[in-house]
Amino acid sequence: MGIPGKNGTYICYGAAIQISWKGVVFLFLYTVRPGDSLYSITRTFNTTEQPVIDGNQLRNPGQLVIGQSLVIPVENVRHTVAPGETLSGISRLYQIPADAILQANPEITNPSFLRAGQILIIPSPMKILGTKRVNGYAFPSVNLDTLKKVLPWLTYCSIFSYRVSPDGSLDSIADEPAIRTARGGSTAPIMVITNIRAEGGFSSDLAQSVLSSDAVQNLLLDNILRILKEKGYIGLNIDFEYVYPQDRQAYNNFVQKAAAILHPAGYILTTSLAPKTSAGQRGLLYEAHDYPVHGKTVDFVVLMTYEWGYTYGPARPVAPLNLVEQVIRYAVSVIPPEKILMGIPNYGYDWTLPFVRGTAAKPLTNPGAVELAARVGARILFDEKAQSPHFSYYSNGKRHEVWFEDGRSINAKLRLADRYGLGGVSYWTVNSYFAQNWLVMDSLYRVKKVIG
């Protein structure tokens, strides 16, 4: 799965307290510019401050960061043209293309001349693209209030994880509260099994112990069925990582055996796959993950399209859109797109430079990254190719580089999933609340629910 922690009308739920905006039909993405204040921004969009504060988890509304992305939920935006104002100036003010303004205002016959006092409709760039499935991984220890906030936007909650043992037994986890909470929010709980050692870290040897023995697999599947029934899960996610290349066929056989047992019993089966860009991609993480076989066998695959920038690696975007798209392009060539859930990270990293192999980056929540930028006086930049926000700063004489996610990067990722006709997306993880993400999600997708 990656780390940290692993080796119309919209109703929205907000930051530290639960809030509801009824009648919100537009959402704008706005990037803070020099001289902006919360007051000036909300005046521009003819809205009040509190929805913006809550929707962006602004702990200090008086300290915005240049380059910070804000989501602006509004009922409508109508702009009164001031004397001498131009279409290009209005376009820059609202940060949307001039062509979009022209399309929304067909009465404009001469774009080079606007009449003072003329009322223009300013269209939101966000519109519902369709219905998607959304999975969120959560630890059994997830704060239940945090979990409740995100459940309106989740189809599935995959609770991470039961560790397999070489003999086919499973460890015990306290997952009952998360299961009850998920079901209470009409979100289907999914059981997750992993080849993680008791001391931590994925183990190739542990996977081999299971995959090389029919007896062990049979016992493991018996234990899985028992837990699925006892605890009220609706299905299973198999997340075996760093499987030896020579165990590729054995892993395929195990997935097929699991499907043959679980499907007749009424359970769904999903697997987590490394982010491959070709069938022959080399590397321990990739070679045993057979995209065509998994795509044919299971109900959904979760593509782990994150961790290009990772804890023990050099500073770079966690999920750069250009590289994510390369994975998606290969995946849809061998797996039905409607079976694919594209992974999205809900975190960022703070690296100390220069990078020294063996040193660890510090994980950050996405709102926490913006708060850090405010605290150190950094300006947030946006990498257009990677569609990722970042900034740098100095501390104790050392340069730091931070990459994270914001409303713009989430918007780009969700639109990528739509462009390729994917079944949906999957978040690693929903353990921390990221209000911008869910507002953008709400403005682009209807989330499919499979339980009442």
**354 cis-preceded (ω within 30 degrees of 0):** yes
Tokens of 252: 């395929």
Other C-beta atoms closer than 10 Å to the C-beta of 193 total 22
User: Quick check: 234 and 265 in contact, CB under 8 A?
Assistant: no
Q: Which of 75, 107, 241, 371 is catalytic?
A: 241
Other C-beta atoms closer than 10 Å to the C-beta of 310 total 16
Q: How far is CA 109 from CA 106, 145, 331, in A?
A: 7, 52, 46
Which residues 6+ apart lie within 8 Å of 345 measured at CB? 2, 306, 307, 318, 319, 405, 427, 428
Is 241 among the catalytic positions?
A: yes
Q: How far is CA 446 from CA 47, 261, 342, in A?
A: 25, 32, 16
Name the helix (H) or strand (E) containing 363: strand 362-364
What is the rounded distance in angstroms from the CA atom of residue 318 to the CA atom of residue 351?
12
Tokens of 84: 């001498």
User: Quick check: 341 and 302 in contact, CB under 8 A?
Assistant: yes
What is the rounded distance in angstroms from the CA atom of residue 278 to the CA atom of residue 217?
29
Residue with tokens 């966690």: 318
What is the rounded distance in angstroms from the CA atom of residue 121 to the CA atom of residue 74?
13
Residue 229, judged by CB atoms within 10 A of its CB (0-12, 13-18, 19+), counts as: exposed
Spatial CA neighbour of 132 closest among 445, 411, 451, 430? 445
Q: How far is CA 144 from CA 57, 140, 148, 432, in A?
A: 19, 9, 6, 11
Across 313-335, b (16+ Cβ under 10 Å) vs e yields eebbbbbbbebbbbbbebbbeeb
Residue ranges of alpha helices (H) inside 188-299 are 204-211, 214-231, 248-262, 291-297
- Total number of residues shown for the chain: 452
Give the active site residues.
Answer: 241
